[in-house]
Amino acid sequence: MSELTTAPLRIAREGDPPPPRRHLLGISDLDRNAVERLLGTASTIARSLDREVKKLPALRGRLIVNLFYESSTRTLSSFDLAAKRLSADTMALRSSGSSVDKGESLKDTALTLAEYDPDVIVIRHPHIGAPELVASVTHAHIVNAGDGKHQHPTQALLDLYTMREALGRLDGLHVAIVGDVLHSRVARSLIEALALVGARATLVGPPTLIPRGIESMGCGVSTDIADIGSADVVYVLRMQRERMDPGAAYVPSLREYAAEWGVTAHRLRPSQIVMHPGPMNRGVEIAPDVADSARSLISEQVRFGLVVRMAVLYDLLAGAPGDDARPLEVA
């Protein structure tokens, strides 16, 4: 992968026409240049976090709505803080305690929110295609923060950023994605994102948790946990029991899964790094001593998630930097 540049952020002049409406519904909305631009913008933004005053005025007067139909800690908090760090106004709506509890449809909720004229709606929803529905009935830019087991594009972008910061490159990296791939939107987005930047993925797990035909996405597949040893990065996934069919037995037990598929220190090489999108089930898919070790980048993923999501919000609203825009200095 070519070296990323860190172009200055820019503020559009008052009266400038708005950029065309764009969305981030999945990794397929991006090409390699777009990924490089977003990661470069995130690098520029990251420098602002070392200042005493961390707010940037880039999105002052904009409204970001976080519409979450599923539980979330990392994604919701990072999108909320990302908007505030860019000086945008924010509004959060969870399904619990809202009109959704009274039977309101997603379409009607979106139409209601549209009356507040939001600039961006960030949506997490248990059903595949929910972000596309919201995009079809509002004039806001839509960011998919996870739809069912389909896509989670900003998680993939922050993972790329974390790998690049740790290893200095993305091109040529080999990433072993271990665990419950069948129910993972994170895995699907990451597989696509790695392919865009010249890296490759190998899926490792029990046959019952590897989707049939997923090799068509350009990844390798293994049912031998020892095959994580050839990877530069070991990316661990949790068992997503909330997405599993009631009564389905994908593995005999969590104890047996941990014994056969858990990522432990003796299964890793000294030079490997370990990542996990969270939340972790310590002692199941990952050993506590691995999660807390120097090789673990799990805390870095949380920290870098903020600057990457700031970059996504900025990019959607301000567009690619133009020659006639005023630069925003970031010390």
* 232: DSSP letter: S
Q: How far is CA 199 from CA 145, 184, 288, in A?
A: 23, 19, 28
Active site residue 84: no
For CA atoms 236, 242, 244, 248, the dihedral sign is positive
Choosing from 23, 37, 85, 124, the catalytic residue is 124
DSSP 3-state of 161: helix
Is 45 in contact with 311 (CB distance < 8 Å)?
A: yes
Annotate 215-242 with b (16+ C-beta within 10 A) or e (fewer): eeeebebbeebebbeebbbbbbbbbbee
Determine the length of the chain: 331
Choosing from 10, 41, 62, 75, the catalytic residue is 75
Active site residue 90: no
Choosing from 13, 102, 212, 266, the catalytic residue is 102
Give residue 68's identity as a one-letter amino acid code.
F
Choosing from 10, 152, 164, 185, the catalytic residue is 152
CA distance 140 to 149: 24
Choosing from 6, 22, 74, 223, the catalytic residue is 74
Active site residue 75: yes
Active site residue 102: yes
Residues with catalytic roles: 74-75, 102, 124, 152
